[in-house]
Structures are given as C-alpha cells and as structure tokens.
A = this chain, B = another copy of it.
Amino acid sequence: MNVEKLDAWWRAANYVSVGQIYLRDNPLLRTPLRREDVKERLLGHWGTTPGLNFIYAHLNRVIAERQQEMLFITGPGHGGPANVANAWLEGTYSEIYSAITPNEAGLKELFKQFSYPGGIPSHAAPETPGSINEGGELGYSLAHAYGAVFDNPQLIAACVIGDGEAETGPLAASWHSNSFLDAKNDGAVLPILHLNGYKIANPTVLSRIPEAQLEQLMRGYGYDPHFVTVADPRATDQAHRDFASALDACVNRIGEIQAAAREEQRQTEEHPAWPMIVLRSPKGWTGPEIVDGDQVEGTWRAHQVPLSGIHDDDAHLRQLEEWMRSYKPGELFTDEGLLDEAIAEQAPAGDLRMSATPYANGGRLLEDLRLPAYADHAVVVDRPGQEKASPMATAGGYLRELITLNPENFRLFGPDETASNRLQDVYEVTDKVWQQRIDDVDEHLARSGRVMEVLSEHLCQGWLEGYLLTGRHGVFNCYEAFVHIVDSMFNQHAKWLKVHQDLPWRQPVASLNYMLSSHVWQQDHNGFSHQDPGFIDHVVNKKADVIRVYLPPDANTMLAVTEHCLQTRDRVNVIVTGKQPTMTWLGPEEARLHFERGIGVWDFAGRETEGEEPDAVLGCAGDVPTGEVIAAAKLLKEALPLLKVRVVNVVDLMRLQDSSEHPHGLPARSFDTLFTRDRPVIFAYHGYPWLIHRLTYRRTNHSNIHVRGYKEEGTTTTPFDMAMMNQIDRYQLAMDVIDRVPSLRSTQAEIRQHFQDERQRAWQYTRDNGKDIDAVTGWLLEESSPDDAS
C-alpha cells in the first residue's frame, strides 16, 4: 500500500468536493481566490463528505489489488459531493456527462452545477454515477446493500451508514438482514458505520454511547466490529494505516466465511459473525477547524457550509482559499486540470470502478424472466360466476412455476404474510431463506430459497429495491393496510424511477410489483386497524409515467395482470385483490382481453337493448365491489323486467383518467361510450370513493357519477357486514339505481322498500349468526341461464 498516493487521491476528492460547494470559477486556484470566483448562494453539505472520500479511496485500493467487484452505498445524507468527486476523478462522470470534461473546463462546470438551479442535488441520486441509494430520506442504505448482494455471490456491497441515519427504524431493523443472507449463494455486505458524531444539530446516539456498549450492540446484531478511531485528525498517515488494516482484515474474513460455506461441508448450524467497520472520524475532517472562534471541525457546525458569508468577509474568503490550498491542488492536477497520472492509476479500471459498476445501473445486467404458460394456470370457466377460485392462490400457482423457471433472478418478499396472502404454493418448489437455527418442526425454511419473510415491511421494500436496481425481478406481497408503512419508501423509489427514466445512460430496470391482499373488505380476523385502501390514493400522486394500479376482479384477470406486470420496466405496479375464493367471472381468454382493454362492459351481468342507451350504468372496480354490483344487477333485472342496466368493470384504474393525463387513460369518446353522456352511473369502488371523482372529474358525465366505497367504517366482521356498513352492498346499490333513474324513483317505491327490507333482514342474520352473505341468500347467480354469459 502506498499511503502517499492513497492520501493524494483523498486530497483530490476532498478538493473537488469543496469546489462543488463553493466555486463557480477559478477551479484550480490558478490565481488568488476572488469573491467573484465564489457562488453567490452557498448551498451544500461538507460534514460527511471527507469521511466518504476517505473510505472510497481505501475501497479503491482493495478493488484494484484484488479485482474485487464492489458496490458503494452512500448512506449518510448529503453525501453527494463525495460520490460526484470520485466519479469525476475516475473518469466516469465525463464518460456519462460529456459536457463535464476531465479537465479544468469540466471541473468548472462540475463545480457550478452542484446545488444550483437546474443542477444536481447534494444527495447521492439517480443522476449520480454508481449510486442505487438516494441519500435524501435516510435509513434504507443497509437494506439496499443486502438486496444488491442477494444472488450475486461475487459482489461485496460496501455500505457506509451515517450515525444519524442509524437512528432511524428501518436502518435499525436492517442490521438483522444477516439472518437472511446466504454465504454460499449471496454476496457480502460490509457495513461501515461512520460515526462523525453529529447529525444536523445534535450528537448521535451511537457516537455517544460508551464504546463497549456499541461493541455489544454490533455483536448483538451478529457482526464482528473492527474499530478505527481517528484520535488525531492531523495524523492522517496513521488513520490510513489503521483503516487499511481493518479493511483488509474484513475482506479477508468475508473470503473465509464464503470459502467455508462454498467449498466445504456446510455447517448449517453455524451463523458466522460478519465483519464490519466502525469508523470514528471528525465531522468535516480536514475542513476549517475553527471559524470566528467557534470549533467547527468535529462538530455539528461542519454539517453544511463551514465558512459562510464569503462575499462579505475577506477573512472567510482567505480561510476558504487556505483550506482549499491545504489539499495542494498543484500536486494533484496537471496544468490542463487532468488528475495526475500517478494518482489516477490507483483507481480500478472499467466496470470495476465503483462509479461505473453495472450493479449500480442494473438494467445493464437485467435478463427477461422466463414466463410460465398462462393457460396452464387459468381457471376454466363454463359460465360466469359458477366456480370459486382465490385470485391470490391462482397467482401463487403461477409464481410457483415462475420460480422454477427462474431460479436465480426472481424473489418473492413478504412480511410473514406469504401464506396468509395465499401464495403458499410457491413452497412446493422453494423455501424461505433463514440462516438461524432450523428446528425439526419448521417447514419450508432453508439456507437458500426464493422467498424472503421478515416482519418488517421496510426490510421487504428495501431488499426488493436493492434487488431490482441491481438488475433482477421481484414481487412484494403485503396486507393492503400495512403497505402504508412503506409509503415514504415508495415515494422515493417512484421519484428515483422518474429521474432515472430521463437519464439515457440508465438502463431500464424491472418494475416494483406490489401484490396487496387481505384487503379492507376481508377482515373476519382482524378489523378496523387492518382496513385502509388508501395506498392507491398515495400512489396516484406520483408521475403517471411510473405508476399503474390494477384491481383484478377474479382469478383469471389476476393472472393476466400478473403476467403483464412481470414484463414491464421502470414502473411501480400496484395490484390489489382478494385471497378468499371468489367467483370467477371471465374465462382465460376473456380475462386476458379484459385486462388488455383495462375496462369493459360485462354483458352477462347487465341487460341492454341493442342500439339503445341503458337506463343506468353500474360501474365497479375491485373484487368485492364487482361481486356486489353483479348481485345488484341481478336483483334489479329480476325485480324490474324492463330496466336496461349496464355493468362496466374496471381492472386498470388509470383507464378512468383522460388519455391526456395518463398513458393508460381512456379517450373522452370511449369513456362516454361506456358510461354514457347523461345516464346515472352508480360506481362501486374498492377504496375511498373520492378517488373515482378525482380521476373522472373532467368526464362529460361526471355530475351523474355516484360512487360508493370504503368510508372508514368497519370492525372485525364478515365481508358482507363490511359492505353493509359502508353502503356498498348489493341492496344499497340496487336502491341507488332506483333513486337515480327518474322514471323508477317516482314509480318503484315498493320495490325499493323490498330491497330495503331484504337488506335489513340479511344484515340482522349476519350479525346474529356471524355468517356471511352466501349463507344468507345463497349465491344469487345460481340460476342464471347460460345465455347470460358472453
């Protein structure tokens, strides 16, 4: 190891980092620094940056020496200047962004764009070469790192964890990811806990608890910590030697663990303590030690811009110049502003550069999934509504075969709910990953497998994001209500994809697929706390190019939706459907066609006269509302022989929007054809009813659309009782039609009263006997004639 050259790289990276925060001109300090060289508004964050640069330089040595594939994850917030500086020094930045040349002119542009209107953010972001982790919202770095190395046995993810970030819940849970990492078939994560002591304005917990306690904590999490403490910030040689020694020890130990798992008889009982590093170094290390008499280096005052007011304070201007010159730019860069050759040659080459690794641009590694034959898994349907099948279980059978066909690049994630959500067929061909003790009584647990189960939605989401962004495929199955736990993680991923799509150098990655079940209408076991269909509302706020929402009404449609979503790229697909056996309305090919259209008239359920407008339209989206609408149509058809009623089912929710607002939106004329221009529309929707208004408020017939949905009424009860409490039940819908068709309203009071009475009777029965509607009325379509089907 050449400490001097390594230190030179670090100085260069620090110099380029400081330049980004401060300079708009004179990037190599060829002349004394003038006020006009400094940006007018100083925005950016220095505090965490020198530590990141330090670690990066050392990782580069290891990569180059060992030709080790490595991915760098920047956990600390506002670490962007470091990633960008190193990417520029490695040449990657200029290869990707040709305007930012690897010379003085490019350096000037690199400096100027940082934290500047229309420029680049101060966090590691999609724009940042080598990054798969957005450093704005903290807490997900370690989960991303684990997701990245699953099924990548040759990869080490070096994950720098900020001590601020370490206080978050998701990060705290992520340490336990080692209970799910298989040393044989997965790569390794090297956590580097970077204790620089402060977050924005406070000390951090992990930097202030006694070191012995911190060591116990890390050992308790299952790691073997190597402590590197920078006692004297000026003794940089010592710091380099200490860190290099710890790093070598860790990488060697990773090799030993992997070799033991891969080459010898596996000791399945043993759970190795994986190495990790605790680096204690001053916040703002190498920056101004004291400013205006206040200690800055090593304190929270180094968090953002340590020297401010440069334009009004010559002393600060001089201190800035002194600081920048302390890195000796003259030794680092040639006259043209190129990085000195001797320094540059330390970096790894080509794709081994962490700024250029394909693992951080996963689309480069992505392979299409081999898909099962749709027909093999579809439910045969002679007539609509004769056979029950669970949409989720049907998808489970499909996923079982998908896993068989794709044993290395697909995983299924769930918070201890995969079987509860009825996907348990997958266990016929794979297992749940588990590295701790396995007892005789346990089922489907193994060291390796395709299913990841942990009682943390954060970990499921974080692992999956890491897995997808490194070029693989996956599904996250979750209880509908509790997916809100990752609302914010979804936000950040959707934002990542939005920016990523606009960057030509970022290759498309597989979509993030949510399968949400155990939904609001099926809460026999749980109740009010488990009732929240609002994730859809949350999702549709994000860019239309990124998000899709599907509400398959039956098993075959679910299958068609699943098959489609697994083939898409750069999207977030949200699928919501039931796990209980429910009527299958469409045959295999009908279902596929219905899914492709996304919306359609279900002739078998309604009754129309050719060439005439219906008297009313019953719209539906979601499995339970669809069942209630079909039952309501049947009640109406039986009671009112002359009524023309149309049933429209929506499987692709974005079809309701206009084509100008969403790529899947329906053109105005098509919408008007389906929903008419002036007839009453009673729409039964799976979620909060106002979402349908928000999606359709520009439609011609909007003022006639009356929506029923979940209005936050519920408890532990039957699906039918739930429908009653929220007035989305068949009887209510039938009464709604009578109330809104003028000719019926005035003449059919008796029939309306009949529905009302039946409703009351059914409700009383279900409440008295704890039974669901099937037991109350029998299945309403039982006596439908085959002619009803289409």
Contact = CB atoms under 8 A, between A and B. Distances in A.
A168 interface: yes
Nearest to A113: B716
B169 A173 contact: yes
Contact of A455 (B199, B216, B459, B721): B199
B179 A716 contact: no
A151 interface: no
Contact of A484 (B215, B442, B488, B702): B488
B137 A482 contact: yes
A440 to B, nearest CB: 9
A622 to B, nearest CB: 16
A771 B222 contact: no
Given A436-B203, A454-B205, A456-B168, A117 B718 contact: yes
A541 interface: yes
Interface residues of A, number: 123
A134 B529 contact: yes
A437 interface: yes
Interface in A413-451: 416-420, 432, 434, 436-437, 439, 441-442, 445
A253 interface: no
A417 B495 contact: no
A537 interface: yes
Interface in A710-724: 712, 715-718, 721
Interface in A535-583: 537-538, 541-543
A222 B199 contact: no
B220 A770 contact: no
A110 interface: no
A73 to B, nearest CB: 16
A165 B213 contact: no
Contacts of A437: 203, 208
A68 interface: no
Interface string A194-232: 000001111111001110011111111110000000000
Contact of A123 (B118, B199, B527, B717): B527
Interface of A: 39-41, 43-45, 115-123, 125, 134-139, 164-165, 167-176, 179, 199-205, 208-210, 213-222, 271, 295, 298-299, 304, 416-420, 432, 434, 436-437, 439, 441-442, 445, 453-459, 481-482, 484-485, 487-488, 491-492, 495, 498-499, 524-530, 532, 534, 537-538, 541-543, 688, 690-691, 693-694, 697, 702, 712, 715-718, 721, 766-767, 769-771
Q: Which 8 A-B pairs have the closest CB atoms?
A: A217-B220, A136-B529, A169-B169, A121-B527, A172-B172, A208-B436, A216-B220, A484-B488
